[in-house]
Structure 1
Amino acid sequence: MAKLVAFYSRADENYFGGQYRSVAVGNTEKVANMIAEAVGGERFKIQQKIPYAADYQTCIQQAKADQRSHARPELEVLPDSLDGYDEIYLGYPNYWGDMPMAVYTFLEVFDWTGKTIYPFCTHEGSGLSGTERKIARTCKGADVKKGLALYGSYVDQSGEAVLQWLKRIGKDGT
Structure 2
Amino acid sequence: MKIKFILVALAGMLMVYSGAEAQSNTKSKRVLVAYFSHSGNTRVIAQYIQEISGGDLFEIVPVKQYPTDYNSVVDQAKKEINAGYKPALKSKLASIDRYDVIFIGSPNWWSTIAPPVSTFLSSFNFSGKTIIPFITHEGSRMGRSVIDIKKLCPQSTVLEGYACRGSNVKDAHDEVANWLQKINMVKK
Give the number of equivalent residue pairs.
160
Asked if 1:165 corresponds to 2:140, the answer is no
1:151 corresponds to: 165
Determine the C-alpha separation between the residues in 2 that align with 1:63 and 1:96.
8
What secondary structure sits across from 2:134 in the alignment?
A: strand
For structure 2, which runs of at least 5 residues remain unmatched after alignment? 1-28
Q: Which residues of 2 match residues 57-136 of structure 1 at below 5 A?
A: 57-136=71-150
The offset of 1:143, in angstroms, is 0.6
The offset of 1:173, in angstroms, is 3.8
Q: Percent identity?
A: 37
For structure 1, which runs of at least 5 residues remain unmatched after alignment? 12-25
Please give the root-mean-square deviation of Cα atoms over the aligned residues, in Å: 1.2
What secondary structure sits across from 1:73 in the alignment?
A: coil
Q: Give the structure-1-normalised TM-score.
A: 0.88
Asked if 1:8 corresponds to 2:47, the answer is no
Deviations 1:102-130 (A, max 9, x none): 11111011111111111100001111112
Give the number of the structure whose alpha-carbon radius of gyration is greater: 2
Q: 1:64 is matched by which residue type in structure 2?
A: K
Determine the C-alpha separation between the residues in 1 that align with 2:141 and 2:68.
24
Determine the C-alpha separation between the residues in 2 that align with 1:37 and 1:119.
17
Q: 1:139 is matched by which residue type in structure 2?
A: C
Determine the C-alpha separation between the residues in 2 that align with 1:67 and 1:146.
21
Higher helix proportion: 2
Deviations 1:3-44 (A, max 9, x none): 100001013xxxxxxxxxxxxxx0000000000000111111
Conservation of the 8 A alpha-carbon contact between 2:111 and 2:144: yes
